[in-house]
Amino acid sequence: MIDPFGRRISYLRVSVTDRCDLRCVYCMAEDMTFLPKREVLTLEELDRLCGAFIDLGVEKIRLTGGEPLVRRGVIGLIRNLGGRIGGGGLKELTITTNGTQLPKMADDLYTAGVRRINVSLDTLDPAVFKAVTRWGEIGQTLDGIFAAKAAGLAVKINAVALKGVNEGEYDRMLAWCGEHGFDLTLIETMPLGEITGDRMDQYLPLSVVRDRLRAHWTLQETDYRTGGPARYYTVKETGRRIGFITPMTHNFCESCNRVRLTCTGTLYMCLGQEDAADLRQVLRDPAAGEEGLHEAIRAAMLRKPKGHDFVIDRRQARPAVARHMSVTGG
């Protein structure tokens, strides 16, 4: 699948649920209203949709959410997709998770064919963790991370950079990741969805963080790319990678290789734009069949925009994009 700007779309991110067992302050309001169940695709429908994308050339799928691992029965979907790795056309199946379910699920993920996961951990401080996630206990997430490691999964830690919250912790987190063999990715906050509080208060440019880290660490440029908004360095002292996801300060759209599917079957061609294609309708239309579904996906690719225009601006009280990250998937 090639879009109008010559980019090959080979990466699909799938939000399998908008629900979550945590309430991170930058992601959700505490009293979030979730989608009615009838609007959410069944796991069989998600499987069929993912299959169609693989048939059309998607080589990498990342399951996300909400919290993907709290959806009941999700391991069945993961096993089915894992079965398509290799000869089935898929090269990689990965998951982004908050880690709470990993103590019981890590082994099953490995058996299903998953080899790498991203786990969100914004802090190593139990009190800060509680304040950021509202409902979380750091011990559960740490147990999950170590269960994943023990199961043989490569772990990348995702941390959102939050001004005045975890700002003083990146040296410690980089050292901790080095000690345990994890890569670390720092993420700038993005203006997605209504939350409580002021985005400007949370926004911390990663250019500042990178300069501060350089006081203690040697960050070596790499040409490692994922086609996404991250720029990676190798940390000489630990041998692990550190990535910086800077949607606000760096334009990454020219190499974008991905599209995002929500759990209602809505396909967003760009994280930062509202335009979307409704694949649920065609999926549930018996007359459309497999060919109709393929046609709808191909047509959507032709609408992939050149880029996004996120702005965090004091004059603009509303988020640039109204939907939450938990709907589109991070």
Interface contacts to ligand SF4, rule CB under 6 A? 20, 22-24, 27-28, 65-67, 98, 120, 326
Pairing state of beta strands 154-160 and 116-120?
parallel
Nearer to ligand SF4, 22 or 186 (CB): 22
**3-class DSSP state of 296:** helix
Question: Of these partners, ligand SAM, ligand SF4, none, which one is at the site of residue 166 (CB under 5 to 8 Å by kind)?
Answer: none
Question: Of these partners, ligand SAM, ligand SF4, none, which one is at the site of residue 192 (CB under 5 to 8 Å by kind)?
Answer: ligand SAM
Q: How many helices (H) and strands (E) does the chain have?
A: 11, 12
Listed residue (61, 65, 50) closest to 99, CA to CA = 65
**β-strand partners of 132:** none
Residue nearest to ligand SAM (CB): 330
- The response to whether 62 counts as a known ligand-binding position is yes
* Residue 330 interacting with ligand SAM (CB under 6 A): yes
Residue 102 Cβ, how far from ligand SF4 at the closest point, in Å?
13
- The response to whether 27 counts as a known ligand-binding position is yes
- Residue pair 66/263 in contact (Cβ under 8 Å)? The answer is yes
Nearer to ligand SF4, 118 or 257 (CB): 118
Please name the helix (run of DSSP H) or strand (run of DSSP E) that holds residue 244, with its range, or none.
strand 241-245
Listed residue (25, 23, 26) closest to 312, CA to CA = 26
Residue 212 Cβ, how far from ligand SAM at the closest point, in Å?
20
- Residue pair 268/210 in contact (Cβ under 8 Å)? The answer is no
**β-strand partners of 318:** none
- Give the number of other CB atoms < 10 A from CB of residue 6: 7
- Residue pair 324/268 in contact (Cβ under 8 Å)? The answer is no
Nearer to ligand SAM, 65 or 243 (CB): 65
Applying CB under 6 A, among 27, 114, 165, 283 the residue interacting with ligand SAM is 27
Count the residues of the shown chain that bind ligand SAM, applying the rule CB under 6 A: 19
**3-class DSSP state of 277:** strand
Q: Which residue has the tokens 């979307």?
A: 276
Nearer to ligand SAM, 70 or 293 (CB): 70
* Residue 189 interacting with ligand SAM (CB under 6 A): yes
- Give the number of other CB atoms < 10 A from CB of residue 273: 18
Q: Rule CB under 6 A: which of 56-75 touch ligand SAM?
A: 64-65, 67
- Residue pair 232/16 in contact (Cβ under 8 Å)? The answer is no
Look up residue 195 and give its two tokens: 């939350």
Nearer to ligand SF4, 101 or 273 (CB): 101
Nearer to ligand SF4, 121 or 282 (CB): 121
Residue 315 Cβ, how far from ligand SF4 at the closest point, in Å?
27
Pairing state of beta strands 276-278 and 258-261?
unpaired
* Residue 183 interacting with ligand SAM (CB under 6 A): no
- The response to whether 190 counts as a known ligand-binding position is yes
- Please state the residue numbers annotated as binding site: 13, 20, 24, 26-27, 62, 66, 96, 120, 156, 190, 253, 256, 258-260, 270
> Residue numbers of the site for ligand SAM (CB under 6 A)?
20, 26-27, 64-65, 67, 96-98, 120, 158, 160, 187, 189-190, 192, 325-326, 330
